[in-house]
A and B are shown apart, each in its own frame.
Chain A
């Protein structure tokens, strides 16, 4: 074997280590920039309709069911939230902005009490066109919700196209939601 080939052979483990290090560095940098969260899971609901459910509303208002999501006139968001959830308060302002842009947002309160909810909506604003309450949390399990807040994007044919676990930020809206709105509206 020529000395050049020998040197190349010694370079193989080194190159592997460099590639691995580069990968870890990229992951950490994206985590730091809040661009990547290794705990988020892909949703099996993507490309499907939401599961069968029918939830009551709050304070005598009507709730909604999966049949109300079959053919929305515009692409819409379904936002799972709770009055006891801090990231939900963080994203409240962003939800208000989205509602003002004319995007229909329907809310499902996760394991919450009507009185707490009323106080929460009074304090943080109410961006929701429709509100339902999943007090037992069993509908959330059928949706594959594993924490609040979670936001689902539903297109005009009632198909879920995107799920975001965590508070919606300016960056998430610019990176994920705006392109979806452009594509499906």
Chain B
């Protein structure tokens, strides 16, 4: 009897836990697990509609990849390993934020290069704008200046 009462007391809590579980793409996860799965999916490009993340995409392949991510999250696979799984199959193009590598150096350096170019042009322009220093006064000019100053 006491056991039954105890069970009854916990029923609402159990129901609450059930309500909070999220089922997506065939995998049921806790809210924390679902948040981790979404964070991973947000960083991955859908290969079919290439400007969407796989979380946003309606493509069938994106749904399958979301299912794979969720199944791995459920097994406790670290996020980094799940990303690696995707890169192994589809290459670094699958990452919406490409890593810094020889292939992307120019891409990441471009703002700095543009700034340097702009500064260079600015510096050269300023150097040109500055008037050249006046030539030293000749003997007659100096005499005339003295005269003028005396007046």
Contacts and interface: CB of A to CB of B under 8 A. Distances in A.
Q: A and B, one complex?
A: yes
A12 B90 CA distance: 39
B48 A42 contact: no
Interface in A120-149: 137-138, 141-144, 146-147
Contacts of B68: 141
Which 10 interchain pairs have the tightest Cβ spacing? A146-B47, A144-B89, A44-B91, A1-B128, A41-B93, A144-B90, A42-B91, A9-B124, A41-B91, A39-B50
A141 B64 CA distance: 9
A141 B91 contact: no
Interface string A23-47: 0000000000000000101111000
Interface in A34-73: 39, 41-44
A66 to B, nearest CB: 15
Nearest to B93: A41
A133 to B, nearest CB: 17
Which of B48, B90, B128 has the most chain A CB atoms inside 10 A of its CB? B90
Given A1-B127, A141-B68, A9 B121 contact: yes
Interface residues of A, number: 18
Nearest to A142: B89
A6 interface: yes
B61 interface: yes
Contacts of A9: 121, 124
B50 A44 contact: no
Contacts of B124: 1, 9
Nearest to B92: A44
